[in-house]
Structure 1
């Protein structure tokens, strides 16, 4: 029988869990806040650390709020909705500071600069989603996200942090008609969505395992891609990915504008998800280097894990040479295309 005990949360750590101790051992509990007392139950002990699940709150922190999402606590996507939105960024800043000190050995004696907080509207901010797909015994398809630390699906109707366009597509594809369409071409396990900067155009990637009994150009898959383009509002590009096989229908890539630059983002390329903060992120990441570069532009900048060139292009305005490093072949191809398009 699992061990239950009283737990006092001391601080938040990376991933949103609260850290405390029980009988001299470290305990990590999700959905708890510093200063709270809870009754918890041991879920797993690994490397001497007790991972516990909360059973009931004995004494709540004043910062606690009722999570607005009905799936919070089951869905593994969000970790901080029980904390007031204006305090979430501050909590993450302190977690970063502690991580730098504990892992990077960067303390106040080495670096004591203020870590600025960048925050935007807390809802509908994501321009991307990776919806998991599961075929149920009744033959219907369910869409949603995995539980935390699990491959169990949590079916969802809508997600409060996805953009309106992505939620509209989710509402369509979880309907009965689309359930039949998706079930007819199973197996596939994920639907990845990316919306552009205007939240108007969307690219969809359908990922699944390779079925040797069915040719890649089987009309079930091709027909599904064409129906996505024809019936789902805003969808302009669809990719079918089955094992190593890959095929794109409609536009080859999405176009995403950030500031003065427009980026080509293909299926499978990495791109930042926080659509409200993207211009501010680019400025924060590049302005210091550009401002400090010599006036004669005789300087070199390195952009590691460059993706499609989100920082590379702005850096090129202030440096004589920018070397961008990216290992993902699709991202690297977009990076080259974006660099060429902007001279």
Structure 2
């Protein structure tokens, strides 16, 4: 079947229409004609893979990775980088319109990653029955054995080369820092190790089980965009919800009078307390944000929330609306959940000032966003 692609979908596929159905085409770009094979049919939505590109977009490039198309890690290596940025901006704007119901969403152009290859500082790999390490196949739980990942730090690939064929049954994670030179291999069941990374002039201790941004280069951009939107003052009391290992508490804490950091993960709290030892004005609370925040008796002048991909719990949104905070920065890696959460916040106590996408995940459809809000 031949189709003409017209648009981009939230999950990164190109959108076409055929026989009254919407067709999502993997490894395609808007503005192309392709011969495709339909792989799944659901009423109103078909999913397809290209058999041949009949008329290619001017933005189509040759993917440099030999695993592209099989490995599910990257979806957009076939798209020129400038077009990747444009499409990510379009996805964020579209989700704010569709999901968030913002007629004219204030979305800025996506900021590029300073490094578009060899940027990932961590990977998690599965092991097959022969001990080979790899990633999941696209749209499947099957494994694709991988000998080198070109979007990952060279330190990860050096460790992978030594471990390939000897992977443990439960898989493993590898971390590497171009700035500290450290690498870490985390195998489930073994004693937890720590790793160090540098961001915005600060050195961070990160336990193997603690979350940290996968792109150190753009993490610095996110910090500075957050700083700009919060317009911090020396007298401010700052709330850092979903604080992790202290990325924002450590980098913004010296600009304010007090930081209250809330984090559920015990390992991340321990790391965060270590990483903010130089700041006497930072205090950590361990627990779920929706449970801890209502117990806080403090009033805040500024806040940063950086929840997991699933977004804010209703209790957190309720807290933010019930106790309006003058300046709020919402960090998100999912345009749909960001748009969903912005709707009750803007129907409540806040005005959306702007959304800044940052390309934290080059060669994929994923994007990081910093949304700035102000209390009415």
Q: TM-score range by the shorter chain?
A: 0.7 to 0.9
- Asked whether the 8 Å contact 1:6–1:39 carries over to 2, the reply is yes
Deviation for aligned residue 1:16: 1.7
Structure 1 distance, partners of 2:127, 2:180, is 23
- Asked whether the 8 Å contact 1:133–1:190 carries over to 2, the reply is yes
Structure 1 distance, partners of 2:178, 2:229, is 25
Deviation for aligned residue 1:49: 1.5
Secondary structure of 2:187's aligned partner: strand
TM-score, length basis structure 1: 0.76
Question: Closer, same or farther in 2 for the Cα pair 1:23/1:300, shift >3 Å?
Answer: farther
Deviation for aligned residue 1:197: 4.5
Structure 2 distance, partners of 1:305, 1:247, is 25
Q: Aligned pair count?
A: 280
Asked whether 1:277 is paired with 2:271, we answer no
Pairing of 1:126-165 with structure 2 (within 5 A): 126-136=120-130, 141-165=131-155
In the other structure, the counterpart of 2:255 is 318
Pairing of 1:26-65 with structure 2 (within 5 A): 26-46=22-42, 48-65=44-61
**C-alpha distance after superposition, 1:144-166 (max 9, x if no partner):** 11101211111122111111111
Asked whether 1:81 is paired with 2:81, we answer no
- Asked whether the 8 Å contact 1:146–1:154 carries over to 2, the reply is yes
* C-alpha RMSD of the superposition: 2.0
Pairing of 1:13-24 with structure 2 (within 5 A): 13-24=9-20
Q: Which structure: larger Rg?
A: 1
TM-score, length basis structure 2: 0.70
In the other structure, the counterpart of 1:257 is 198
- Asked whether the 8 Å contact 1:27–1:50 carries over to 2, the reply is yes
- Asked whether the 8 Å contact 1:134–1:189 carries over to 2, the reply is no
In structure 1, runs of 5+ residues without a counterpart are 208-240
Structure 2 distance, partners of 1:340, 1:90, is 41
Structure 1 distance, partners of 2:271, 2:94, is 36
Structure 1 distance, partners of 2:134, 2:250, is 35
In structure 2, runs of 5+ residues without a counterpart are 281-376
Greater length-normalized contact order (CA 8 Å, ≥ 6 residues apart): 2
- Asked whether the 8 Å contact 2:85–2:110 carries over to 1, the reply is no
Does 64-73 or 38-47 show the bigger shift?
Answer: 38-47
Deviation for aligned residue 1:327: 2.0
Deviation for aligned residue 1:27: 1.3
In the other structure, the counterpart of 1:331 is 268
Structure 2 distance, partners of 1:273, 1:159, is 14
Structure 2 distance, partners of 1:130, 1:263, is 20
Asked whether 1:122 is paired with 2:116, we answer yes
- Asked whether the 8 Å contact 2:172–2:187 carries over to 1, the reply is yes
Structure 1 distance, partners of 2:96, 2:241, is 19
**C-alpha distance after superposition, 1:62-116 (max 9, x if no partner):** 11011111110000000111011232122111111111121122232xx435344
Deviation for aligned residue 1:314: 2.1
Secondary structure of 1:167's aligned partner: helix
Question: Closer, same or farther in 2 for the Cα pair 1:116/1:82, shift >3 Å?
Answer: closer
- Asked whether the 8 Å contact 1:197–1:257 carries over to 2, the reply is no
Question: Closer, same or farther in 2 for the Cα pair 1:67/1:197, shift >3 Å?
Answer: closer
Structure 2 distance, partners of 1:302, 1:47, is 45
